Amino acid sequence: MSASSGRAMLEPLSVWERLLEWFLFHFRWVFVVPFLLPLSFAYEKFIFIRNWIVFQLQSAPKAHDRKVALIQKQVREWNQGDKSRKMCTARAGYLTMSFRFPSYKANSTLINTDKLVDILEIDKENMTIRVEPMVNMGQITRFLVPLGYTLPIVPELDDLTVGGMINGCGVEASGKKYGMFQHICVSYELVMADGSLVVASKENKGDADSQGLYYGVPWSHGTLGFLVAATLRIIPCKPFVKLTYMPTNTVEEMQDKLFEESNNRDNEFVEALMFSKDKGVIMKGRFSDGPVDGKVAVNAIGEWHKPWFFTHVEAIGKINKVVTELIPLRDYYHRHSKSIFWEIKEIVPFGNNALFRWLLGWLCPPKIAFLKATTPAILRKLYDRKHVLQDMLVPMDKFIHTLEVFDRDVEIYPLWICPYTQPSCPGMIRQRTGRNILYVDIGAYGITEKSTYDPMETTRRLEEFVRSVNGYQMLYADTYMTRAEFWQMFDSSLYDWLRAKFNCKEAFPDVYDKVCKAAHLGLYPVRLLPMVLVLLVILLWKIPFALLLIYVVYGTILQILKHFYPVSEVLDALTITEEEWSLEKRHENESIVIEGSTADRGSSIYIEITAHKDRNEAHVVLIEQEETFRGTFHAIPDSDDGVINCGPLLVEMRLPFRKWRILFRGILTNSADNRQFICFSGWWRPTSDAQFFYANAGLAPFLLHLRKNKLAFRHNIQLLHKYRKAKLLSQFGQYHTELVIGGKSSERTYRGLRERRPLGFGCSEQQMQVYLDDGNRLQYKIVDEEGGIRVEHGIFCKASNDVRAIRIEEEDRPMDCESPRVMQIKCSRDTDFPLRKERQLQEFSLLRGDGMKVDAKLVEVVYGLSKGVALFKTIRTTTQTAEILHLDSLPEYHCSAMEKTLHVLPFTHRACRDKQMGGGKGANLSRLLSVTNKFSVPNGVVITTAAYEAHLQANPSLKKLISQLNSLCQEDSFYDDLCGRISAEFLSSHISNELIDQVLEILHSDDDSKRYAVRSSAVGEDGAELSSAGQMDTFLSVQREDIAEKVKLCWASNFGRHVITYRRNYAQQINTSMAVVVQEMVSDGVAGVLFTADPVRSDPSKLIINALEGSGEQIVSGEKTPQQIEVNRIARLVVKPENCCLSAQEIDKLTEVGQFLEGLFGKPQDIEFVMKKDRLFIVQSRDVTTFNRETNFEMMTEFNNSSLTEKEAYTTANVGEVIPFPLSPFEAEACSLFMFYDKLIISQASRQTTNTVPVHFASAITTFYRRIFFD
């Protein structure tokens, strides 16, 4: 590059240009605020809606293939035509995050890649997400964070794209742990110069081209091919970041603390801001679940009215104290977006003013693309004279020296300081030390006031310094290096090899030609006349005119927003928030109550679950035709917080506050102490929005106490705070279920209340819940606190969904069901209304494990012409003690990194209990061995999944064949042939002698007469939902010299044609790892399978034994027909055939062991056993997979919406002709397009009534049995 090209920008400014410079720098906000901010806001909403629709329709994966094919077609057309013009993307220059305008595009062949804007898929098992290159960081975090995942590195600005971070580079506060953005990438998909599609991955160790591309693409700026997709790592995350601010007063202190915190493994995030040569603030962060006891405050910095983040940090630096706060995760990730780091202060100088933030902060920030698109050439010329935008990456030990250089040459503050780890790997970065080196990114952004600043000379001095310390310059900024200097800073060896290998030299420009300053001196065509006219008007009227302009423009905008407001309101109503997911998960020390009655008052249900730290306790009460059935159950909490599994009761959250699955399949006892098998299964749906019960309480419930204790200020405030912040959630709803009693099935619809409340809330409590036939509902509570404090509050939820506070006079005590006959309900805005009690329907009592007793009465009530059921309930302490069962458990174990390298494990090794190491069968056998009780487990070992993976690595041809199983849209013959080739390849491969020697050594196999069972143990086999029983091969009576051959056959059976079909049909992972169990044989006995619940009828009252003289494997595989023995748990009867192969004592022993294992694993068990000479051997125990499966009724009614009452009238109108067939499950889902229409209609209609839009349920459009109806 010649010096003249840079010097041309430094010619003296004319008077006209100086005048324009002054106006443009000081009054650009006049154009930005009234025009660009609303435009940016509207564009963001449009993109959000577009992405939401694409996500709901799940059309992105299919559309991706079409987009890639179109790009390939364009590239092939270029190959067939004139190649004089090299290829580059057609993306407009103003759409990039850089402030440069690429002039080289004018002389290039433009390939349209702008449609690659979608998230394609998330793989939770492999912890990856596949995206297209134009997907930005805001889009990814909006998708991942609600699911509990995140990218390890999330660059701060919302609009930064995946493609930009890969083809360029990306650094963030978590870089000290994960490196650069390129280091979290698993693979890239590129369209090469010849139009072919190539996948570049470092895992393809046998493919040098693929590995080379993987390391060569970062920093190449699209000069090796067109990136069309990328697979990125994801990690689990928590909803908050606990951020600690540590002010520093010297640059030496900054360096020492920065180095210390960067090497602290507990820190997830480390960054700093320097506000002067000496003063700065270091920020370190860790993932957090949220506030605990209010010790650390929550600061939602992403809210529109909050100050700019850098000013918040600066304020903390001034008080010079360490401060810690909790920040919502997405707010933290995009902390610099609102102020575009601190660039916004140059554009909207008053943007951090509190008044501006509250009034217009929700419109910020302006899109960088729009700022660039509306920047005239003269303004860009002026910006180039004073504007600095540079990121320099230098080793941490050069930090102080680098800061001195920045202060001397540019003197811009704040400076962004971000440490990151630079690993040793191939690529354009010269880091070949074989170890990780800690670097730091120093970012300078803004207008410099330094009089000696010269854009070219100053930048060249910085570049020379960075080269001298083995650092790097980020290439999005202006680069004034010569070509020789550029390749002195970067390593061209791999890059040049790839360019030659894939014929890129004639197809794509060189990376230097794309990033050097000379490539960006062109002018982007922007009309200057409108800007000049605006500035001339400002010259005449200045600020008054500007204010008038803002008033006129915003008046118009507000009117438009007012007209289209329902769309925004509807989108908010459809969005399931992170808080909703969090609130609906299981929380310790919480009670969940679900109750309801049928419209004819003939049946009622009451379920109360108390969640303790180490157990779930469930009380189930069913009242059917005046007969009461009840039961109490205990279980160890499930690892999934969205599922409450309590013995025979399963309560599963599908969508928070919108859909719950409730299943009970167990034994209840009636009032005559007779036990009965009862099953009910169905869906709970809301008929009201969820709300915090005391949210609209005001001061009325506390007035009596406040008047008596006027001077107890602190106590009064604490009381108010306790109730207003209490997470006591109430929501009315409908439980639509199929009820089976005594083999007779009937359909029931229970309407009532679902409530969540913390345990220990008050000393005692009285409650009343009412659900009337006309859709009116109410709830009332009287809570007694210590010291005689009483708090009363109630809510009245009208059929129109308007919610109002109510109260009941003291003489109308809710729990008194006899008198008064009529209760006067006083509403805050309506006239009083009487609720008359007709007759008591039923009553029951519960004794909870936390020492509380629940007394409940069901009463028929009447209001006007409507009838309903009221539940009167008292919760109080009691001297009675509830029976608390001792719960044994077998917690899952997860291997350490060292244990994951072991190839052979005895059953006694703890690592064998990890299903990822020992597979399903091996892990269960290891767990059984640790709890032997009146049974034995034959000695054995597990050849782990690590040994399986090592075998594949040693046989690359075999691994390549297996990888072909992931091919889509293939004919059956393809898989038939491929499975046969994989099996043949396994059999021809060689197992290492060392592996077999380890097996025989652990088995102590010195006796030639010993025989062994060699059994498959795949990951995912013997699971709770799908067992894969009998799918893969088992070999019995194997001699020790044949073990190696049988192990290979077991591995090969993992890819049998029937196994692959089974996995494809049940949406399981096809290429799953395989362990192998080698176990001593127990022969000459009675073998069989014991089911602790009838697997056909899913009846836990019956225990089924299938047995024969031989091996249990013959039963599982269906080779022989066994004898069947049925044990009735309720009647304690045994039904067995004549000449039964098991004695009565052996059956009793099997029954006892089966019930013990069922309690231990927490679910009905499928147990393989061998009985030999009165000694019981257990050779496998797995969950019965059919027990919690959805019934036909559930599958038919899953997408039914709730109805407020039994008197609703629905019509198909003309939708019966437009959509004559049942909807697919996706179309009928709650968040589908129909839900959008429902909210839109209600939002318009509600303006004439309550002016509220229901969030959690549908009102106008509903589905029944997957068909659309209108209310």
Out of 260-269, 782-791, 1155-1164, the most confident range is 260-269
Predicted pLDDT of residue 94: 61
Last residue of a domain, one of 1033, 1052, 1081: 1081
| Enclosing H/E stretch for 1172 | strand 1165-1172
C-alpha to C-alpha distance for 535 and 709, rounded to whole angstroms: 65
C-alpha to C-alpha distance for 444 and 472, rounded to whole angstroms: 14
480 touches 460 (CB < 8 A): yes
Q: pLDDT exceeding 90 applies to what percent of the chain?
A: 25
For residue 951, which of 1048, 1023, 832 has the smallest C-alpha distance?
1048
Which of 557-566, 1079-1088, 1223-1232 shows the lowest mean pLDDT across its residues? 557-566
Does 1038 lie in the same domain as 911?
yes
Kindly state the tokens that stand for 171: 């650094």
Residues 6+ apart with CB under 8 A from 711: none
983: CATH: 3.30.1490.20
Predicted pLDDT of residue 523: 36
Show the beta-strand stretches assigned E in 91-250.
109-111, 119-123, 128-131, 149-150, 185-191, 197-201, 226-233, 235-236, 240-248
| Torsion angles phi and psi, residue 1052, rounded to 5 | -65, -35
Name residue, tokens 């083995």.
470
For residue 797, which of 824, 767, 829, 775 has the smallest C-alpha distance?
775
For residues 1181-1201, give the mean pLDDT. 84
Does 755 lie in the same domain as 710?
yes
Coil, helix or strand at residue 789:
coil
| β-strands 904-906, 415-422 pairing | unpaired
Whether 556 has a pLDDT exceeding 70, the answer reads no
Predicted pLDDT of residue 1247: 54
Per-residue pLDDT reduced to its tens digit, 643-666:
888 888 999 998 898 899 999 988
More confident residue, 401 or 169: 401
Q: Is residue 1172 part of a domain?
A: no
> How far is residue 108 from each of residues 78, 88, 111, 901, measured CA to CA in Å?
11, 6, 9, 52
Whether 880 has a pLDDT exceeding 80, the answer reads no
Predicted pLDDT of residue 342: 82
More confident residue, 624 or 1211: 624
Predicted pLDDT of residue 886: 55
For residue 270, which of 22, 144, 439 has the smallest C-alpha distance?
439
Which of 243-257, 325-339, 406-420, 1005-1019 shows the lowest mean pLDDT across its residues? 1005-1019
C-alpha to C-alpha distance for 821 and 1253, rounded to whole angstroms: 36
Angle at 1091 between CA 605 and CA 941, to 5 degrees: 125
| β-strands 866-877, 852-863 pairing | antiparallel
120 touches 61 (CB < 8 A): yes
Which of 133-142, 361-370, 569-578, 668-677 shows the lowest mean pLDDT across its residues? 569-578
Quick one: pLDDT band at residue 386, thresholds 50, 70, 90?
A: confident
Whether 210 has a pLDDT exceeding 90, the answer reads no
Predicted pLDDT of residue 544: 47
830 touches 808 (CB < 8 A): no
Does 1028 lie in the same domain as 1075?
yes
Say which amino acid occupies 1220: P
244: CATH: 3.40.462
Angle at 362 between CA 360 and CA 366, to 5 degrees: 85
Whether 527 has a pLDDT exceeding 50, the answer reads no
Does 802 lie in the same domain as 669?
yes
Q: Is residue 135 part of a domain?
A: no
Does 925 lie in the same domain as 871?
no
Whether 540 has a pLDDT exceeding 50, the answer reads no
Kindly state the tokens that stand for 846: 């519960």
C-alpha to C-alpha distance for 592 and 173, rounded to whole angstroms: 40
Does 794 lie in the same domain as 720?
yes
C-alpha to C-alpha distance for 474 and 444, rounded to whole angstroms: 12
Residues 6+ apart with CB under 8 A from 248: 254, 257, 272, 279, 280, 281, 282
Average predicted confidence (pLDDT) for the chain: 81
Sheet holding 1123-1128, edge to edge: 1133-1135, 1123-1128, 1102-1109, 1086-1091, 1165-1172, 1175-1183
Quick one: pLDDT band at residue 764, thresholds 50, 70, 90?
A: confident
3-class DSSP string for 597-644: ECCCCCEEEEEEEEECCCCEEEEEEEEECCEEEEEEEEECCCCCCCEE
C-alpha to C-alpha distance for 826 and 708, rounded to whole angstroms: 23
For residues 305-319, give the mean pLDDT. 91
Predicted pLDDT of residue 524: 36
Q: Is residue 687 part of a domain?
A: yes
Q: Is residue 905 part of a domain?
A: yes
982 DSSP 8-state letter: H
93 DSSP 8-state letter: G
For residues 674-694, give the mean pLDDT. 90
Residue 953: CB atoms within 10 Å: 12
For residue 804, which of 845, 839, 833 has the smallest C-alpha distance?
833
178 touches 172 (CB < 8 A): no
> How far is residue 91 from each of residues 99, 106, 511, measured CA to CA in Å?
14, 12, 17
Predicted pLDDT of residue 1240: 64
Quick one: pLDDT band at residue 573, thresholds 50, 70, 90?
A: low
Does 1017 lie in the same domain as 986?
yes
C-alpha to C-alpha distance for 1226 and 1232, rounded to whole angstroms: 7
| β-strands 764-772, 777-784 pairing | antiparallel
Alpha helices in 158-308 (DSSP H): 162-167, 175-178, 208-216, 251-262
For residue 576, which of 61, 154, 142, 234 has the smallest C-alpha distance?
142
Q: Is residue 1102 part of a domain?
A: no
Residues 6+ apart with CB under 8 A from 833: 824, 825, 827, 863, 864
725 DSSP 8-state letter: S
Does 807 lie in the same domain as 908?
no
For residues 915-927, give the mean pLDDT. 89
Coil, helix or strand at residue 264:
coil
Whether 1023 has a pLDDT exceeding 60, the answer reads no
Sign of CA dihedral 1055, 1059, 1060, 1064: negative
Quick one: pLDDT band at residue 191, thresholds 50, 70, 90?
A: very high
C-alpha to C-alpha distance for 402 and 464, rounded to whole angstroms: 12
Say which amino acid occupies 524: Y
Quick one: pLDDT band at residue 22, thresholds 50, 70, 90?
A: low
Per-residue pLDDT reduced to its tens digit, 1031-1053:
788 888 898 889 999 999 999 98
Does 908 lie in the same domain as 849?
no
Residues 6+ apart with CB under 8 A from 909: 902, 926
* Residue numbers of the domain that contains 325: 3-19+238-348+379-491
C-alpha to C-alpha distance for 133 and 104, rounded to whole angstroms: 21
Predicted pLDDT of residue 567: 52
Per-residue pLDDT reduced to its tens digit, 1105-1140:
999 887 655 655 667 788 899 998 888 889 988 888
Whether 978 has a pLDDT exceeding 80, the answer reads yes
900 touches 1039 (CB < 8 A): no
For residues 143-168, give the mean pLDDT. 88
Per-residue pLDDT reduced to its tens digit, 74-124:
999 998 888 888 898 887 766 665 555 566 777 788 888 888 888 998 898
Q: Is residue 610 part of a domain?
A: yes
Name residue, tokens 């590195």.
153
1068 touches 1020 (CB < 8 A): yes
Q: Is residue 1027 part of a domain?
A: yes
Q: Is residue 810 part of a domain?
A: yes
Predicted pLDDT of residue 371: 73
1144 touches 1134 (CB < 8 A): yes
Question: pTM for this structure?
Answer: 0.56
For residues 865-878, give the mean pLDDT. 89
Per-residue pLDDT reduced to its tens digit, 801-812:
788 888 887 665
More confident residue, 291 or 151: 151
For residues 611-615, give the mean pLDDT. 85
Peptide bond into 414 cis (omega under 30): yes
Residue 120, CB-side half-sphere exposure with 13 Å CA sphere: 23
Predicted pLDDT of residue 1244: 60
Counted domains in the chain: 4
Last residue of a domain, one of 491, 508, 531: 491
Predicted pLDDT of residue 563: 45
Kindly state the tokens that stand for 31: 């154009």
Whether 18 has a pLDDT exceeding 60, the answer reads no
Predicted pLDDT of residue 706: 63
Which of 204-213, 891-900, 919-928, 1223-1232 shows the lowest mean pLDDT across its residues? 1223-1232
Does 917 lie in the same domain as 852?
no
For residues 817-832, give the mean pLDDT. 68
Does 630 lie in the same domain as 734?
yes
36 DSSP 8-state letter: I
Which of 457-466, 563-572, 674-683, 1008-1017 shows the lowest mean pLDDT across its residues? 563-572
Last residue of a domain, one of 877, 908, 929: 877
Does 735 lie in the same domain as 593?
yes
Alpha helices in 930-1033 (DSSP H): 945-954, 956-963, 972-988, 993-1003
Kindly state the tokens that stand for 123: 């793989």
Predicted pLDDT of residue 1054: 86
C-alpha to C-alpha distance for 823 and 812, rounded to whole angstroms: 6
Whether 185 has a pLDDT exceeding 90, the answer reads yes
Whether 885 has a pLDDT exceeding 80, the answer reads no
